[in-house]
Chains A and B, each alone.
Chain A
Amino acid sequence: MVRIGFLKMFRDMKRSLSAYLICIFIVTIGFVGYSLMLVTRTEMGEAKDMFFEQCNYCDGFAEVVSAPATVARELEKIPGVMSVQGRIVQKIPVEEMGSDDIHLKVISQTIDGMNRVYLENGRNPAAGEDEIVVGTGFYGAHDLEPGEKITISPQGTNRQMTIVGHGVSPESMYLVQNLAEMLPALDKYDAAFVDIQTAEKIWGHKGEVNQFLFRMKPGADFEDIKEEVEDVLDPYGVTSTYDGMDEVSVAIFQQELDQMEQMSAYIPVLFLGVAAVILYILLNRLLGQQRTQIGTLMALGVRPRLIRLHYVGYGLTVGLIGGCVGGILGNYSAAPLTDYYKVFYQIPDVTKGFYVQYVIQGMVMAGGFCSLISYICTGMVKKQTPAGALRPEAPKTSRRFFMEIIPGFTRMFTVPGIMGVRSLARHRRRTVLSLCGVACAYMITATLVSMSSLFDIFIFSELEENQQQDIAVSFTELIKEEDALEILSNPRMQKMEGVLEVGAQLKSRKDDLDVTISAIDRDAQLTRLYDAEGNAVYTRQEGIVLSEFMASRLGLQKGDYVTLKMTWPEEKEYEIPVTDLMAQYIGTTAYMSKEALGDLTPYHDVISSVKCKAPEDVREELKQQVDDSPYEGIIETRQEKIDQYRSMMGSMNMILFSMAFLGVVVGIAVVYTSSLIYYEELKREISTLMMLGMRSGECLDVISVGQYLLACGGILLGIPMTMWASRVISTGMASEMFTIPDFVEGKALVVSVFLIFLSVWFSSRLILRKMKKLVPVEMLRERE
């Protein structure tokens, strides 16, 4: 019985092979995405764990202005702490590299201490010697060799260091120069490692450190002891304490992994939805065609439950094959994505493997889902009596299409066209499902096409709407505003605005958030803020402007009060009003007026950067002016920033373009399956038309007119669905660093309309080819 059942199923499926293959293909795409994301996430997660273990990455950080290294012993007395290590971290300019504005984050280390460098080549720097291990990104970007010397310039005095190796560390996976920077540029800023004794000499404070690393006892959490740590370090100017996983570089990498996991949940759901529509249409048609066979099987004594199970097998087969092939392909296609992340985040030792569990998960999920759809579809078997099933089905009553009440509607079509329109009305359930299928395909295409233009939105929003400056000069330490403006004064300068950027924590009853506070002029022209509706937003005499994302995370609205926690020069909390909310897609910057911040904190008349409106070629002159001053600064033009974004978003766009292409393929799959089913059903009518003398091209209207109408309906339904999908994606993928805008580009909607109609045209061509092979006499002779 089982063997016969399988034989029947496989032969039935072979007869409608293309339709089943399409369905399998859709399921496969969904599970390629699923396993691709999870395999990459697993490989990167495992590599991260191994990497962190090899570097002996710490559980927590505490940053101070300066403290005796012996304070570590005092910190070790805090319950839950296993060990504490002091270290020196300095941002030091590098000279004579053929380019300006190059800095290294020089980190001290001990051979068996925490947060060691993972050496990719060479050896660790010797104690007390002027030896340095530079970051692999920096090493590669400048084509350095072991034994080569580089000149660093701590406190304005040059010091030659010998390169003894290169490597990476968890803290350098995504290293940015300052809080306002969003993308790493390893040729200009990377980590470097020296021995602690060497670091002391460079810094010039023997026995002093400016950072403590914590290792917690098993089961203890660094978050629970932060306050005690801050109490101990209070006399030494504690600037921040944070969990090891909240370190910027580590947190960004972790966010990437989390997003991959989220994506792995969205993608199969989207594609399974489309597969469900196709499978439902397909099985409904099959059950209609095999009505007599069902009756015969019942007459032979096969229980309806077993017959249902037999037809559930069709869906199960589709699901199992799709899930399995998707899982396998996803495993193999994960390699390039893993390589991309490996290079981007500089993770060493990524072990690639084949993860059978994701293939099995895919098969279980897809098999289960498709079986469920089939089970729902076969509900009619239960209601059917054998005698009823053996009787020919009562012909469906012909109905007028609801749009026929529109005067002149029917005159728009040929007679075969009207037949096509009425066949939509006759099979209402199928029409609704096909409509949903087209709408899903439209939603997938439009959402992905729209996402592929996110880059433009980011750039437009960040660099054209918000940041109006041509050149930004960031000083490595706080500087009096009048001094900065004097240093940068230039006859070609059109406008200058000082900005103070400081790290802070925002707290509410709901949550807390580490942010950058950007203090700007109340009438700032070079930093412009806008709300979600595009209206200008300004900072006030007091209070703070938060991004929509921050407000949502903190559970706040305009007019509410938020706690601003500053840690320097002393830890203090302030209650300030949220004066406005703004749209912000990149970064975690909250804005205050200089007066508002100055009134609360000792940050009076000091700034950290200057935004300049000037021709970009003034950059060199400004560089010289900064070099001639006692201050150090980094100068960046708008174009440099755009190029930086472009290089990062380029690879992302490639992925999104590929997915948009898949959206088109899904569109064709849905429309073609729907056309095929209608064609199979209307074959007799088409044969009759051919017997009457119509050519196949003329008969095609029976199918194509209905499909074009379905496409129109599907698009109308798809537009709000696209809006909804955009909202789901923007909510689900929002992180502290990036907010995906809840925005669908008009161009994406138009392009997708074109692509859906292209799918209908393409499907019609395929149906026409079948129609040309149709022999009307034979068709009309067949009983069923």
Chain B
Amino acid sequence: MEEYVLKGEGLRKVYYGEGVSVEALKDASFTIYPGEFVVVLGPSGSGKSTLLNMLGGMDQPSDGKLFYVRQTKNGPEEIELTSLNADKISDYRREAVGFVFQFFNLIPSLSALENVELSASMSENPRDCREMMRLVNLEGREKHFPSQLSGGEQQRVSIARAIVKRPKLLLCDEPTGALDSRNSVEVVKLLVKVKEEMGCPIIAITHNAAMAQVADRVFYMKDGMLEKIVTNEHPIPVEEMVW
């Protein structure tokens, strides 16, 4: 079996509205390998978020197949995500996927640490929550509520929440979209650090081409089409990234 984490074959998504239909994703096929940093680049409305939602089991494609390879005691096991029921998809999200959102989506009534604990509580083998807070440089801010944190800090809590459960892949939806340039660089640094420390593939969608400089591969999208996939032979260190 080919060693991969995710594989999409002819993925298509159509949204239906009042008398109209919009094809948000057209025949996308791709493979995601272990430990790589993939950036999905494209303008607004190009289908980036639709693709990410499908990879994360947040939405079902109208057509096509999506496979996930799970590591078990007996070796790798290929699972067709598109054939799973709602509960199994929930389990996939719970066990395999870490999410980082553009607007952080922290639970406002829970403190920073409690937001991380919420995610940890769903994992069989979570990492230490306080250690995660240290990893994202938020030591001493554990008891603060989201409304008491800056945007950059909230996004770092969001990353801690995503990685505390040892995800098999980390999906980031415009992780720097709501941040200023200084905080954006900090977040990208953190994502690269996570990739290096945990070895899980990271897929980040963005419309900012700067992030592509540090990626292993770049998926270019336009009008719902996965136009091309470019391998970055020499990704630059984050410190050299020009934002």
Contact = CB atoms under 8 A, between A and B. Distances in A.
Q: Are the chains A and B members of one assembly?
A: yes
Given A299-B93, A385-B59, A387-B53, A783 B103 contact: yes
Interface in A362-407: 385-388, 390
B58 interface: yes
A783 B102 CA distance: 13
B208 interface: no
A390 B171 CA distance: 15
Interface stretch (A7-15, A509-517, A587-595): A7-15
Interface in A751-784: 783
Contact of A302 (B56, B94, B109): B94
- Give the one of A1, A385, A387 with max B CB within 10 A: A387
A746 interface: no
Contact of A8 (B50, B90, B110): B110
A687 interface: no
Given A4-B118, A293-B105, A300 B94 contact: yes
B114 A4 contact: yes
B91 interface: yes
A298 B105 contact: no
Contacts of A480: none
A7 B109 contact: yes
A301 B124 CA distance: 13
Contact of B90 (A1, A11, A301, A387): A301
Interface residues of B, number: 33
A747 interface: no
Nearest to B53: A387
Contacts of B101: 296, 299, 390
A385 B89 CA distance: 11
B95 interface: yes
B122 A300 contact: yes
A385 B54 CA distance: 11
Nearest to A305: B87
Interface in B63-92: 86-87, 90-92
Contacts of A300: 93-94, 99, 118-119, 122, 161
A722 interface: no
B97 interface: yes
Contact of B59 (A7, A302, A388): A388
Contact of B110 (A4, A298, A386, A390): A4
B153 interface: no
A8 B110 CA distance: 6
B107 interface: yes
B150 interface: no
B59 A301 contact: no
B90 A302 contact: yes
Contact of A299 (B87, B91, B99, B106): B99
A299 B58 contact: yes
- Give the one of A295, A296, A297 with max B CB within 10 A: A296
Contacts of A7: 109-110, 114
A575 B148 CA distance: 88
Nearest to A289: B108
B58 A298 contact: yes
A610 to B, nearest CB: 79
Contacts of A420: none
B229 to A, nearest CB: 23
B33 to A, nearest CB: 23
B154 to A, nearest CB: 12
Contacts of B97: 299, 301
A30 interface: no
Interface residues of A, number: 25
A386 B118 contact: no
B106 to A, nearest CB: 8
A295 B53 contact: no
A3 B126 CA distance: 17
A12 B99 CA distance: 24
B44 to A, nearest CB: 14
Contacts of B58: 295, 298-299, 385-387, 390
Interface string A1-26: 10010011001100100000000000
Interface in A520-548: none
A256 to B, nearest CB: 50
Nearest to B49: A387
Nearest to B99: A299
A211 interface: no
A387 B59 contact: yes
Contact of A1 (B49, B53, B93, B122): B122
B40 to A, nearest CB: 15
A741 interface: no
Interface in B104-138: 105-110, 114, 117-119, 121-122
Contact of A11 (B56, B57, B59, B109): B109
Given A299-B56, A300-B99, A387-B58, A4 B121 contact: yes
A142 interface: no
Contact of A15 (B109, B119, B121): B109
B176 interface: no
A223 to B, nearest CB: 61
B60 interface: yes
Nearest to A13: B109
Given A300-B122, A301-B91, A386 B59 contact: yes
A301 B105 contact: no
Contacts of B95: 301
A15 B108 CA distance: 11
B113 to A, nearest CB: 10
Contacts of B57: 386
Contacts of B117: 4
A303 interface: yes
A292 interface: yes
Contacts of B94: 300-302
Contacts of B114: 4, 7
A304 interface: yes
A386 B109 contact: no
A311 to B, nearest CB: 13
A387 B55 CA distance: 11
Contacts of A11: 109-110
A12 B145 CA distance: 13
Given A300-B99, A387-B59, A783-B103, A1 B118 contact: yes
A6 to B, nearest CB: 11
A99 to B, nearest CB: 73
Given A296-B101, A387-B59, A304 B90 contact: yes
Nearest to A386: B58
Interface in B208-232: none
A8 B109 contact: yes
B93 A386 contact: yes
Nearest to B111: A7
Contacts of A295: 58, 105
Contacts of B59: 385-388
Nearest to B117: A4
B174 to A, nearest CB: 12
B21 to A, nearest CB: 16
A298 B101 CA distance: 13
A760 to B, nearest CB: 31
Contacts of A783: 103
Interface in A557-583: none
Contact of B60 (A8, A298, A301, A385): A385
Nearest 5 Cβ contacts at the A-B interface: A301-B94, A11-B109, A1-B121, A387-B59, A387-B53
18 contacts: A7-B114, A11-B109, A11-B110, A12-B109, A293-B108, A295-B105, A296-B105, A298-B58, A298-B90, A298-B93, A299-B97, A300-B93, A300-B119, A303-B86, A385-B60, A387-B53, A390-B58, A783-B103
Interface of B: 49-50, 53, 56-60, 86-87, 90-95, 97, 99, 101, 103, 105-110, 114, 117-119, 121-122, 161
Given A296-B99, A301-B122, A302-B90, 12 more contacts: A1-B122, A4-B118, A7-B114, A293-B105, A295-B105, A301-B92, A301-B93, A301-B97, A303-B87, A385-B59, A386-B53, A387-B59
